[in-house]
Structure 1
Amino acid sequence: MGVLDGRVALVTGGAAGIGLASALALAEAGADVVIGDLNAEAGAEARERIVGLGRQSLFIATDATDEEQVAELVARTVADLGGLDLALNNVGRGELGRTVTTTTLESWNAILGLSLTSTWLACKHEIPAMVERGGGAIVNMASSAGVSPQVTASPAYAAAKAGVVHLTRYAARQYADVGVRVNAVAPGLTLTRRVEAWFDADAIAEEVADSQFVARAALPAEVAAAVVYLCSPAAAMVTGHTLPVSGGVR
């Protein structure tokens, strides 16, 4: 028996990195899992891995910044799997080497769209589906950059993730009385393929040594464990909270 048996979960950005690790962890805990992502090949592979764990799964190609596609993602989840109980909203990206004065308007708008607007759109369509089921749990992907200023994070990314933190608290307060809990996780530097492509091992070691109590990068599975906890009955009294998974960022 898994702690999430009988639940239906939706993971945006679930084809790779923290999203994939979370989708697999939710399935291992007993949930059926729908993956929304733009990467069709990786999404199909993720679906097969979830099915291999004995759970139902769908992959639905989705641009998380397009409201029609997000609405369709939620609608298909409900139609094909019978409802929606849990969600991880995990779409976003940053950039390196930008400051407040060197960030372009094009980049600013793109990063806020991917990292903040996508989260709002997902919540907008997930919450009514959860209310129909009598409640549910949403986890939004924030970042330690949205909690504490970090010069290695771009200003657009930091601002977007700070927005995710506040959106999370806002939604938690507004929908607590209808049984929908809304929390966030705030990872620090995490060893995804994207991070490993951006930084070499020495740069990662230097970054965490200077900025964290625990001097190593997090693993995607460690962030996924926090996601499962926030989705589980063990977190029934946890809402509006942003849970750092960052080794004690200074």
Structure 2
Amino acid sequence: MGVLHGRVALVTGGASGIGLASAEALAVAGADVVVADIDSDGGAAAARRLAGLGGRAVFLHVDATDEQHVADAVRRIVSDFGGLDLALNNVGRGELGRTVTTTSLESWNAILGLSLTSTWLAMKHEIPAMVARGGGVIVNMSSSAGVSPQLTASPAYAAAKAGVAHLTRYAARQYADQGIRVNAVAPGITLTPRVEQWFAQDAIAEEVAGSQFIGRAATPAEVAASVVYLCSPAAAMVTGHTVPVSGGVR
């Protein structure tokens, strides 16, 4: 029986990349998993894949920047599964080749909305459901770009992911006495479909990945392993931290 048997997990951005790998790892660990994503085809395929791993799995079409979508998703999970125990908030995107002075206001707002506001909205509705359940665990997806400046990342993305790390610590402090643990994971360069496209288009990408202490990009499964650890009883005294999964990059 898996260490997360009987737990109900929500994974936003769960249709591909780190989100999908984390949803699979949570399912293998015994959790029932709700995949939430704006990609209906990918999300439905992910849920079918997870169902084959033994637990319950469903897909919900959710725009993580729309509060009504998020609120409705959490309400449905509580209604259909009896409660919410675990959440991975994993929505975000950046852009390449932008600087502080060349980033447009439209792009800045869109990236902060996807990478930071979505995390806040998710926690806003997940936390009350977890408190009603008697406790829970939240893992937010930050980035090594939010920990230290990396000029391959856009300034909007770096600022948003730094905000995710600080919001994580804030929420951990505020809700610890209600049984809620909140941590973040900060991946370095990880071989998601988007990063694989970058590798194919830009020779500098592999050079950047090779500059990590462990001279390669991470796999989504390696990031997912940290997500499962943080959700597990083994991390019972871990809260308020941003855990790097970056091959030594800080």
Does the pair score TM above 0.5? yes
**Hey, what does 2:108 align to over in structure 1?**
108
CA positional deviation for 1:198: 1.9
Residue 234 in 1 paired to residue 234 in 2? yes
**Hey, what does 2:118 align to over in structure 1?**
118
Aligned letter for 1:156? A
**Hey, what does 1:127 align to over in structure 2?**
127
The 1-side partners of 2:199 and 2:100 are apart by 22
The 1-side partners of 2:75 and 2:104 are apart by 36
**Hey, what does 1:157 align to over in structure 2?**
157
CA positional deviation for 1:137: 0.2
Aligned letter for 1:188? G
CA positional deviation for 1:58: 1.2
**Hey, what does 2:192 align to over in structure 1?**
192
The 1-side partners of 2:206 and 2:65 are apart by 34
In the comparison of the two structures, how many residue pairs are matched? 249
The 2-side partners of 1:30 and 1:203 are apart by 40
CA positional deviation for 1:216: 0.1
Tell me the alpha carbon deviations over residues 99-134 of structure 1, each in whole angstroms, 9 at most, x when there is no partner.
Answer: 000000000000000000000000000000000110
Residue 148 in 1 paired to residue 148 in 2? yes
1:173-184 paired onto structure 2 within 5 Å: 173-184=173-184
The 2-side partners of 1:249 and 1:11 are apart by 26
1:74-89 paired onto structure 2 within 5 Å: 74-89=74-89
Gaps of 5+ in 2: none
Aligned letter for 1:235? A
Aligned letter for 2:29? A
Secondary structure of 2:36's aligned partner: strand
CA positional deviation for 1:204: 3.0
**Hey, what does 1:67 align to over in structure 2?**
67
**Hey, what does 1:48 align to over in structure 2?**
48
Secondary structure of 1:49's aligned partner: helix
Gaps of 5+ in 1: none
Aligned letter for 2:236? A
**Hey, what does 2:6 align to over in structure 1?**
6
Secondary structure of 1:93's aligned partner: coil
Identity percentage of aligned residues:
77
The 1-side partners of 2:114 and 2:128 are apart by 22
CA positional deviation for 1:223: 0.2
The 1-side partners of 2:116 and 2:187 are apart by 16
Contact kept, 8 Å, 2:136 with 2:180, in 1: the verdict is yes
CA positional deviation for 1:202: 4.1
Contact kept, 8 Å, 2:111 with 2:157, in 1: the verdict is yes
The 1-side partners of 2:27 and 2:37 are apart by 17
Contact kept, 8 Å, 1:70 with 1:121, in 2: the verdict is yes
**Hey, what does 1:246 align to over in structure 2?**
246
Residue 205 in 1 paired to residue 206 in 2? yes
Contact kept, 8 Å, 1:144 with 1:249, in 2: the verdict is yes
Aligned letter for 1:56? R
Contact kept, 8 Å, 2:85 with 2:136, in 1: the verdict is yes
Contact kept, 8 Å, 2:210 with 2:217, in 1: the verdict is no
Under a length normalisation based on structure 1, what TM-score does the superposition of the two structures give?
Answer: 0.98
Under a length normalisation based on structure 2, what TM-score does the superposition of the two structures give?
Answer: 0.98
Kindly report the root-mean-square deviation, in angstroms, between the aligned alpha carbons of the 2 structures: 0.9
Runs of 4+ with deviation above 6 angstroms? none
CA positional deviation for 1:54: 1.2
The 2-side partners of 1:234 and 1:204 are apart by 35
